[in-house]
Structure 1
Amino acid sequence: MNYWLAGVTNLSELQLPLFDLIESLVEPGKKTASVQYHKKGWIVHPITNVWGFTSPGNKASWGMHTGAGAWICSHIWEHYAYTGDKGFLKRMYPVLKGSVAFYLDWLVEHPVSGELVSGPAVSPENTFIAPDGSRSQFSMGPAHDQQVIWQLFSDFISASRELNIEDQMILQVENAKTRLAGPKIGSDGRLMEWAEEFPEVEPGHRHISHLFALHPGYQINLEQTPELARAAKKSLDYRIENGGGHTGWSAAWLINQYARLQEAGKAKESLNTVLSKSTAPNLFGLHPPFQIDGNFGTTAGIAEMLIQSHAGTVHLLPALPEAWPSGEVKGLKARGGYEIDIKWENNELAKAVIRSERGQACKIKYQGKVIRVDMKKGSRQILKSSDF
């Protein structure tokens, strides 16, 4: 969460220390993969330190988060998507490949469906009621693990194509991706957190791990998977109705999630929650106590309300709330190498200035309409609402 804002707010260079950290985890992560799981590649769990700690944490509900390595690797492709730095992508490709190697070895075939599932694994940090009435965290194929692995495989395939790499492993990943158990909708219309419809111990849990595919991932979006997007919205609404979003970082994640669903009003409500209930007088984000994730996640969420580029188009003002009738933002970034200024008046786009850093066609979306603009490297395009 602390790095979600880096690309979109034009601060990608501040993300570089994260990649130094990820690289430093590979060698100890190989040992953890080998000794604790007897698997290839490398893995890290939710906590680490400068000494390369990669083993599980000391509590099952979060410490056995086997999807953590895939999640942290999602920042690699995101950084490239914003910057287009091929030197960086070449440097980090072996890291991606090593993480992929672990999950290829880790996944098992479900005995009934034949789909590939992760497990035994947890949905951080939630607990369910097992069929025998006991409380448990472990299951096969929890939604979160399936989603972060899908994202990792997608990013690895994209990186391989971008670097013109041909490898037998790429074919293995493409095949495994098609066999991954995907997001499922429960009988109540919500996105399922586990592969089976287990009742949650805490229906209003602060974590929304099973909605990674909506944000920061992109497996679920309104354009390509509208049914899953509706199920994700129902899950979000249910969490809040039962007391969810009660910590600073949790409410911050809700801003981003609702922005992806283009629910401007609900995104603004979550922003209000952060500011009124989870922000100290000095503007520090509160868990409570102080936890800076809320600050950075909220910043990312505000940017997500104003511009999105995860679904193949540059979407202007996708979740602009009525409470912001007029405003202006400068220097935001979109994936594909575009720097964008946006000005709006009376809740409508007044002007957007788009600068291309790479020189390629740009699909731009506003209020449901998409136009294509051919751009040269360093060129600038000015658009108004009447252009759509």
Structure 2
Amino acid sequence: MLQYHYDDNLHRRAAVVLEGCIIFLLDFLIPSACGKYLITNPSLSPENTFISKSGEAGILCEGSTIDITIIRIAFEKFLWSTNMLSRNELLCTKVEEALDKLPELTTNADGLIQEWGLKNYEEQEPGHRHVSHLFGLYPGQSINPARSPDLADAAKRVLERRAAHGGGHTGWSRAWLLNLHARLLDAEGCSQHMDMLLKSSTLANMLDNHPPFQIDGNFGGCAGILECLVQSRALPGASNPSIIEIRLLPSCPTSWTEGELTRVCTKGGWLVSFAWRNGGIVEPVTVKSPATKDAEAHIVFPNGSRTIVRGVQPKSEHHIARAA
């Protein structure tokens, strides 16, 4: 939330909670069996089951991928928070040391991201509704087609395997698949999952059918539509995390021939409005800068061209076109 609308008072209140979370995580992490990493143990991948080498069904593992992914995100958010508020430098040092010891995402011989952490297991249910090991793709941002193409390809293989075995059979799971494909810039995959969400998992009153009703599918479906049309993140490689990259129509299906967005809030607090037709932006794009000073945004158009907005007054509105 703070990355979309920064509030110093809210940040200082939330920082206390985050700090308590970090203290717990540092205490909970233990050395892996090989001694190289810090991991969670016991651990599991929510609701999913693997087949052990002896052929038995198993749940518990060392450092599941979702555990380590969420802990990595928590550590990174804490370091960002500490830098902003200049508090608890000692704890910051401990987090940096622990962060270096977390295992990276692992892929197996089939090119799939491993779900149960350091050890490779076969799923008992290959089409399971959860895709917890792809948390780093969505809602996280550690897997990205541009910055980590090998991991993005491995994530795509996971989704293909899930789909081949009947995945996405609940409404909320289908909505998650929509968001995951949007992050992979797979526009037609998004179209397929959006259609299935509406046809198979939406009731006549437009509520999500789990079954029965579950609001996750409605929220996730709305989030997925927005991910198809606008994505924002800290500019890769920039030393200043407040410099934001805003991508327009990153995963817009061809069947969404035209439309309009008004005042969508991106990371960094920018408000973006634009219309599109047949995969292109109907210029100009309107952006309103956040309340903070020295804000900078890189607007990326569907054809890859960029227009940079910087040095503008807080809360000022600007009409921009593609750079020549």
* TM-score (structure 2 length as normaliser): 0.92
Shifted more, 87-96 versus 159-168: the winner is 159-168
How much does 1:365 deviate? 1.6
**Aligned-pair distance for 1:156?**
0.6
Question: Which residue of 94, 115, 140 maps to 2:62?
Answer: 140
Secondary structure of residue in 2 paired with 1:331? strand
1:166 is displaced (CA, Å) by: 4.5
In structure 1, give the amino acid aligned to 2:147.
Q
Q: Name the CA distance, whole Å, in 2 between partners of 1:258 and 1:311.
A: 20
Q: Structure 1 counterpart of 2:36, which letter?
A: G
Counterpart of 2:255? 323
SS of aligned partner of 1:196: coil
Alignment pair present for 1:261 and 2:196 = no
- Match of 1:217, SS? coil
Q: Partners in 1 of 2:78 and 2:187 — Cα distance?
A: 33
What is the aligned partner in structure 1 of residue 168 from structure 2? 245
Quote the offset at 1:109 in angstroms. Answer: 1.4
1:113 Cα deviation from its structure 2 partner: 5.3
Amino acid at match of 1:284: L
Q: Which residue of 2 aligns with 1:38?
A: none
The 5-angstrom pairing of residues 209-228 of structure 1 reads 209-228=132-151
Q: Is the partner of 1:310 in helix, strand or coil?
A: strand
Deviation at 1:223, TM superposition (A): 2.5
Query: Residues 23-49 of structure 1: CA distance to partner in whole angstroms, max 9, x if unpaired?
Result: xxxxxxxxxxxxxxxxxxxxxxxxxxx
Identify which of 364, 377, 386 aligns with 2:314: 377
- Give 5+ residue unaligned stretches, structure 1: 1-78
Question: Are 1:232 and 2:155 an aligned pair?
Answer: yes
- TM-align CA RMSD: 1.3
4+ aligned runs moved over 6 Å, structure 1: none
* Residue in 1 that maps onto 2:296: 361
Query: How far does residue 221 in structure 1 lie from its aligned partner after superposition?
Result: 1.4
**Structure 1 residue 143: deviation in Å?**
0.4
How many residues were matched structurally? 309
Give, in angstroms, the shift of residue 240 of structure 1.
0.9
1:216, CA displacement in angstroms? Answer: 0.5
Shift of 1:271: 0.7
Identity of aligned residues (%): 37
Alpha-carbon distance between aligned partners in 2 of 1:185 and 1:217, rounded to the nearest angstrom? 18
Question: Higher strand proportion, which one?
Answer: 2
Post-superposition shift, 1:372?
A: 2.1
Matching residue's letter, 1:370: R
Which amino acid is 1:119 matched to? N
Give secondary structure in 2 for the equivalent of 1:204.
Answer: coil
CA contact (8 A) 1:322 1:347 kept: yes
Query: Quick one: distance in 2 between partners of 1:281 and 1:153?
Result: 43
SS in 2 for 1:232: helix
Pairwise CA distance, 1:164: 2.3
Q: Note if 1:183 corresponds to 2:119.
A: no
Separation (CA, whole Å) in 1 of partners of 2:113 and 2:306: 29
For residues 94 and 369 of structure 1, the distance between their equivalents in structure 2, rounded to whole angstroms, comes to: 41
Checking the alignment, whether the CA contact within 8 Å between 2:307 and 2:320 is kept in structure 1 is no
The one-letter code sitting in structure 1 at the alignment partner of 2:308 is R
1:339 alignment partner, one of 264, 268, 271: 271
Deviations 1:134-167 (A, max 9, x none): 1111000110101000110011111111112252
Q: Which amino acid aligns with 1:198?
A: Y
Q: Using the TM superposition, give the Cα deviation of residue 338 of structure 1 relative to its aligned residue in structure 2, in angstroms.
A: 0.3
Change (3 A) 1:235 1:113: farther
Q: Does 1:306 align with 2:239?
A: no
Q: For 1:83, what is the secondary structure of its paired residue?
A: coil
Shift of 1:96: 0.4
Matches within 5 A, 1:1-388: 79-112=1-34, 114-194=36-116, 195-312=118-235, 313-351=245-283, 352-357=285-290, 358-359=292-293, 360-367=295-302, 368-374=304-310, 375-384=312-321, 386-387=322-323
Is the CA contact 1:109–1:117 (under 8 Å) kept in the aligned structure 2? yes
Structure 2: state its 5+ residue gaps: 236-244
Structure 1 residues 366 and 113, CA gap change in structure 2 (3 angstroms): farther
Q: Which protein is richer in helix relative to its size?
A: 1
Amino acid in structure 2 at the alignment position of 1:383: I
Q: Give me the whole-angstrom Cα distance separating, in 1, the residues matched to 2:79 and 2:267.
A: 17
Work out the CA distance in 2 between the residues paired with 1:150 and 1:310. 17
Contact 2:4 2:267 in 1 (8 A): yes
Q: In the alignment, is the contact (CA less than 8 A) between 1:218 and 1:311 conserved in 2?
A: no
CA contact (8 A) 2:299 2:308 kept: yes
Separation in structure 2 between the aligned mates of residue 343 and residue 149 of structure 1, nearest angstrom:
38
Q: Secondary structure at the match of 1:304?
A: helix
CA separation of 1:250 and 1:298: change in aligned 2, threshold 3 A: same
Greater mean alpha carbon deviation, residues 357-366 or residues 327-336? 357-366
